[in-house]
Structure 1
Amino acid sequence: MSEPVGLRERKKVRLRETIAETAIRMFLESGFDRVSITDIARAAEVSRRTLFAYFPTKEDLVLQRFADHEDEPARTVRNRRTDQPPLDALREARLAALSRRDPNTGLNDDPEILAFLRLVRGTEALAARLMRYSARGKDTLADALRENGFDALTARLTAAQVIVVQDELARMNHTCLAEGQSADDRYPEAVRATELAFDLLRDGLRDRS
Structure 2
Amino acid sequence: MTAGLRELKKQQTRQAISDTATRLFLERGFEAVTIAEIAAAAQVAKMTVTNYFPRKEDLALDYHEAFTAALARTVAGRQEGESALAALRREYLAAVERHDPAIGFTGPEFARMIADSPALTARLRELHDQREEALAQVLAAHTASNPGDLTPQAVAALLAAVHRTLFQQVLDLTRAGRSNEEIATAATRSAHRVFGLLEASLGGYAVR
Give your verdict on TM over 0.5: yes
Equivalent in the alignment of 2:128: 134
Equivalent in the alignment of 1:13: 11
Instruction: Select the residue among 72, 86, 89 that pairs with 1:88.
Output: 86
**Number of aligned residue pairs:** 198
Structure with larger RCO (C-alpha < 8 A, sep 6+):
2
Alignment of 1:121 onto 2:119:
no
Equivalent in the alignment of 1:198: 195
Equivalent in the alignment of 1:159: 156
**CA-CA distance at 1:121 after TM superposition:** 2.3
Equivalent in the alignment of 2:77: 79
**CA-CA distance at 1:180 after TM superposition:** 3.2
1:89 and 1:196 mapped to 2: Cα distance?
16
1:135 and 1:33 mapped to 2: Cα distance?
23
1:9 and 1:34 mapped to 2: Cα distance?
32
Deviations for 1:78-124, whole angstroms, at most 9, x for unmatched residues?
A: 11112111110111001111111112223x3xxx7321122122200
Alignment TM-score, normalising by the size of structure 1 = 0.88
- Within a 5 Å distance, the mapping from 1:26-41 to structure 2 comes to 26-41=24-39
Kindly provide the amino acid, as one letter, of the partner of residue 179 in structure 2.
S
**Residues 114 and 179 of structure 1: CA distance in aligned 2, closer, same or farther (over 3 Å):** closer
**Residues 130 and 174 of structure 1: CA distance in aligned 2, closer, same or farther (over 3 Å):** closer
**CA-CA distance at 1:179 after TM superposition:** 2.1
2:119 and 2:182 mapped to 1: Cα distance?
32
Identity of aligned residues (%): 36
Alignment of 1:173 onto 2:154:
no
Counterpart secondary structure, 2:63? helix
Of 59-68 and 12-21, more deviation after overlay is shown by: 59-68
1:30 and 1:188 mapped to 2: Cα distance?
32
2:88 and 2:6 mapped to 1: Cα distance?
37
Alignment of 1:52 onto 2:72:
no
Of 120-129 and 169-178, more deviation after overlay is shown by: 169-178
Kindly provide the amino acid, as one letter, of the partner of residue 158 in structure 1.
V
Kindly provide the amino acid, as one letter, of the partner of residue 64 in structure 2.
F
Kindly provide the amino acid, as one letter, of the partner of residue 119 in structure 2.
A
**Residues 64 and 180 of structure 1: CA distance in aligned 2, closer, same or farther (over 3 Å):** closer
Kindly provide the amino acid, as one letter, of the partner of residue 136 in structure 1.
Q
Kindly provide the amino acid, as one letter, of the partner of residue 133 in structure 1.
L
**Residues 195 and 150 of structure 1: CA distance in aligned 2, closer, same or farther (over 3 Å):** farther
Root-mean-square deviation (CA), in Å? 1.6
Provide runs of 4+ in structure 1 moved above 6 Å.
Answer: none
2:182 and 2:31 mapped to 1: Cα distance?
34
**Residues 150 and 113 of structure 1: CA distance in aligned 2, closer, same or farther (over 3 Å):** farther
Counterpart secondary structure, 1:69? helix
- The answer for unaligned runs of 5 or more in structure 1 is 205-209
Deviations for 1:131-172, whole angstroms, at most 9, x for unmatched residues?
A: 111111011100111122164411111111211211211211
2:181 and 2:108 mapped to 1: Cα distance?
15
2:22 and 2:162 mapped to 1: Cα distance?
27
Equivalent in the alignment of 1:207: none
